[in-house]
């Protein structure tokens, strides 16, 4: 006697036919899969870890769609916080309403496809049930995901605002907004809002690691505005917040490499670094594409120097002696493009040394990096240092430089090289942490108000020798300082 399918539930497996047993197993697997896809529980302060009724890792309370009326949700958090998964889950929730049109925009068409749609753990294809999908079409220009309920998700690259022209959407997701081209990012954001002009309840999620760029800061300021009804909801977070879902070994490596550095505060702690009023170096100068490269990516250098900013005394409270290793390279000849030389800062360090120990260290850096010469500042009684270097190592050539202007005036032309995106820091970020901190905080106050920036001084001497000192053979002509006069 056959048993009706509706009577199978609660029946002992031994009494089921093979077809009924297969159907029961399939049903259990589908139910388990559906349960594992659930994202947001109703615990007010949930940490996302398994608990009663939720046996899998799921959304932390801060990862749920905000309540109330809002137009933009800015998740400004460190790497690995869960920004992509959070946004993808929000898009899934939006798309559950039949006929919803959603735009997804990333830095370029490749990233929107590979990260926002196809990321194995956090992309849209990973969070939307396969049975809900009608058709997925990855493309070089436009990626589309159509659902059986009539909703559609379109993926665009943010290269140009006109990529979105002509579309009409209900919702939008902007991924890694701070990584977009800083010259066009705001225009792409505005164009998306033109595409949302007919939506009954337009909303946009902006997920990004913080960078001190104008289009990001504008949204942050709106999110921080103390008004009764905020149109921008701001959520911040650290990489550490999602430790339960991250590799312990990877976290240890990231902390070792970036912990305590300016880049670590931004990339791991999710801190939006602000500019110091009066500082010559602005935060955005360290965010341009190509500013950080690995040492193997440095092209052949036509000149390379070790610059030394020596301390005046050697007491326990004395200033540090600082060393900067930097080189210069000319781009390959091109019919069009920028042919001006580029600078590469390869190493920066500071410590307290006796004069002899300082010159030994300078000689060691000279040989290690195969430099052309050692550049030594001879102010403040340091005229004897070149002779001491020759005594320590006669094979090391040196050049003596003397300050004829104050520190800020000397630094201004070098800061302009960074402003022109002609300087690259090559190597581990921790190597340049102290140097970059001095660059972004030094304003040129008196010695009583501001500690002397030793690393900054040595970097200025190195890059001045490479780019700005016309007395050095092969040095390019010095750029005009006219535009900097008002910034001293």
Domain boundaries, the chain: 5-36, 61-245, 283-487
Write b or e for each residue in 218-242: b if 16 or more Cβ atoms lie within 10 A of its Cβ, otherwise e.
Answer: ebbebbeeeeeebebbbbbbbbebb
- Annotate 137-201 with DSSP letters as a single string: E--SS-EEEEETTS-EEEEEESS-GGGGTT---SEEEEESGGGS-TTTHHHHHHHHHHHTTT-SS
Of the candidates 271, 317, 291, 261, which has an alpha carbon nearest to the alpha carbon of residue 434? 261
Helix, strand, coil percentages in the chain from 3-state DSSP, rounded to 5:
40, 20, 45
For position 82, what pLDDT does the model report? Answer: 93
Domain 283-487 sits in CATH 3.30.420.240: yes
Compute the distance between CA of residue 7 and CA of residue 320 in angstroms, rounded to an integer.
Answer: 83
For position 316, what pLDDT does the model report? Answer: 61
Q: For the chain, which residues score pLDDT lower than 70?
A: 1-14, 20-22, 24-36, 226-230, 312-318, 333-337, 380-382, 445-451, 470-488
Compute the distance between CA of residue 401 and CA of residue 244 in angstroms, rounded to an integer.
Answer: 54
For position 28, what pLDDT does the model report? Answer: 59
The CATH number given to 61-245 is 3.40.50.300
SS (H, E, C) 221-243: HHHHCCCCCCCEEEEEECHHHHH
For position 416, what pLDDT does the model report? Answer: 95
Q: Specify the pTM.
A: 0.72
Would you say the CATH fold of 283-487 matches that of 61-245? no
């Amino acid at each position: 006697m056959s048993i009706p399918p509706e009577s199978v539930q609660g029946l002992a497996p031994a009494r089921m036919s093979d077809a009924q047993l297969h159907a029961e197993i399939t049903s259990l697997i589908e139910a388990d899969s559906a349960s594992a896809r659930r994202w947001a529980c109703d615990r007010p302060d949930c940490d996302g870890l398994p608990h009663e009724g939720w046996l899998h890792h799921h959304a932390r309370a801060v990862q749920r769609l905000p309540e109330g009326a809002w137009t933009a949700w800015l998740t400004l958090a460190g790497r690995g916080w869960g920004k992509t998964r959070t946004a993808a889950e929000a898009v899934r929730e939006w798309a559950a309403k039949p006929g919803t049109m959603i735009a997804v925009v990333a830095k370029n068409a490749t990233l929107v496809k590979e990260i926002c749609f196809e990321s194995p753990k956090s992309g849209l294809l990973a969070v939307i049930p396969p049975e809900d999908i009608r058709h997925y079409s990855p493309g070089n220009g436009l990626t589309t995901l159509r659902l059986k309920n009539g909703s559609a998700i379109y993926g665009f690259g943010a290269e140009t605002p006109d990529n979105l022209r002509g579309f009409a959407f209900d919702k939008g997701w902007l991924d890694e907004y701070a990584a977009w081209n800083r010259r066009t990012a705001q225009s792409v954001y505005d164009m998306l809002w033109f595409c949302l002009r007919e939506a009954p309840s337009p909303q946009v999620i902006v997920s990004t690691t913080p960078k001190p760029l104008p289009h990001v800061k504008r949204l942050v300021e709106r999110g921080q505005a103390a008004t009764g009804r905020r149109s921008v909801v701001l959520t911040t977070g650290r990489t550490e917040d999602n430790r339960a879902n991250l590799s312990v070994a990877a976290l240890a490596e990231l902390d070792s490499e970036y912990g305590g550095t300016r880049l670590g505060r931004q990339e791991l702690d999710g801190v939006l670094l602000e500019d110091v009023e009066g500082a010559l170096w602005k935060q955005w100068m360290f965010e341009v594409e190509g500013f950080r490269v690995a040492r193997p990516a440095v092209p052949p250098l036509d000149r390379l120097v070790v610059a030394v900013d020596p301390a005046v005394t050697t007491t326990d409270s004395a200033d540090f002696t600082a060393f900067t290793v930097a080189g210069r390279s000319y781009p390959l000849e091109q019919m069009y493009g920028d042919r001006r030389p580029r600078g590469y800062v390869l190493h920066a360090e500071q410590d307290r040394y006796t004069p002899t120990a300082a010159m030994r260290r300078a000689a060691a850096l000279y040989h290690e990096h195969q430099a052309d010469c050692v550049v030594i500042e001879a102010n403040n009684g340091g005229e004897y240092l070149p002779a001491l270097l020759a005594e320590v190592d006669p094979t090391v050539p040196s050049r003596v430089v003397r300050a004829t202007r104050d520190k800020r005036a000397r630094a201004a032309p070098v800061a302009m090289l960074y402003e022109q995106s002609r300087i690259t820091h090559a190597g581990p970020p921790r190597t340049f942490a102290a140097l970059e901190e001095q660059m972004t905080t030094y304003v040129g106050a008196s010695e009583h108000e501001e500690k002397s920036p030793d690393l900054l001084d040595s970097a200025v001497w190195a890059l001045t020798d490479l780019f700005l000192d016309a007395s050095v053979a092969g040095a390019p002509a010095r750029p005009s300082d006219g535009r900097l006069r008002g910034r001293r």
